[in-house]
Amino acid sequence: MSPELIIAIIVTVVGASTPILIAALGELVVERSGVLNLGVEGMMLVGAITAFLVVFLTGNHYLAILLAAAAGVAASMIFGFLTLSLSANQTATGLALTIFGTGLSALAGQGYSARPVTLLGPLFPAELALHPIWRVLFGYSALVYFSFALVFAVWWFLKKSRAGLILRAVGENDLSAHSIGYSVIGVRYAAVAFGGAMAGIAGACFPLLLTPQWAERMTAGRGWIAVALVVFASWRPFRLLAGAYLFGLVMTMELYAKAGGGPLSAIPAELWAAMPYIATVVVLVLISIRRDASNNAPACLGKPFLPSN
């Protein structure tokens, strides 16, 4: 395998992993607050169509990212109102949000299918990425570097900050946090909004980084992979980083298998396409049968907050 091919594979893996990582980090914060939001896929699609339309109409990529985050927050607030204010079932509401986001994005994208937009360019000057080795370090867009910074920011927030301690306390024992004066519902609303913003930005990665056009369901189940990765990573940001790039590598192998040639082509491309989702199921099964798996999950995950009178 030539060095040029290796560099190309690395760059492709980074691009494929970025939206999964961003969405999963947002969901990690949501779940550490004690809320289970299965609507990540729907919020990603809302963010994807928002980013596509903004770039198509204005050509401003950074405005597209900002508005995609706002669209994700708006979608997450539907989930938040139903589950936090009305105490609706979180699992059912999350699934409904995914269905809603899928339908809304398809409706908004009617008439724009396969229309091209420009990709978001590299953050650093092109001269820094002329050599293949330097391309691995400086050849990416701002969203890629944002995803790396987000890993450290989420880790620091949860482990080192007072606000992160409060959020973790709400997720572990909401009644105790409430009894000492913290607003459990307020903290969870903020976490859900953050998760929605990250899902929106993750959705924006698809038209801005990966496929410069609109296609229905273009996230192709990446939101479900992000949800599974949070469990796979035991709710830890750096494990999440490794898991996201592992799935990104598998997705990249699918692309090279479809291109033909080499040992990858010996495995059917359809099997490569199914592998990320097969791996998701296998990971969840393995974790579910581990006796200590539940020890890492927030104690109040998925449970409505019902303060005693």
User: What are the pLDDT digits (tens) for 147-188?
Assistant: 999 999 999 999 999 999 999 999 999 999 999 999 999 999
Q: Which residue has the tokens 């105790």?
A: 176
What is the DSSP secondary structure assignment for residue 235, as one 8-state letter? T
* Range with top average pLDDT, 127-136, 289-298, 299-308: 299-308
Task: Indicate whether 287 pLDDT > 70.
Answer: no
Domain positions in the chain: 3-223
Read off the pLDDT of residues 81-119 as tens digits, 9 standing for 90 and up. 999 999 999 999 999 999 999 999 999 999 898 889 999
Cβ-based neighbour number of residue 5 at 10 Å: 11
Q: How many CA atoms lie within 13 A of 90 on its CB side?
A: 20
Q: How far apart are CA 194 and CA 25, in angstroms?
A: 10
Residue 65 contacts by C-beta under 8 Å, 6 or more apart in sequence? 51, 143, 201, 204, 208
What is the rounded CA–CA span in Å between residue 270 and residue 292? 35
Distance CA 262, CA 253 (A): 11
For residues 281-305, average pLDDT: 72
Cα–Cα distance, 204 to 160 (Å, whole number):
30
Give residue 291's pLDDT. 47
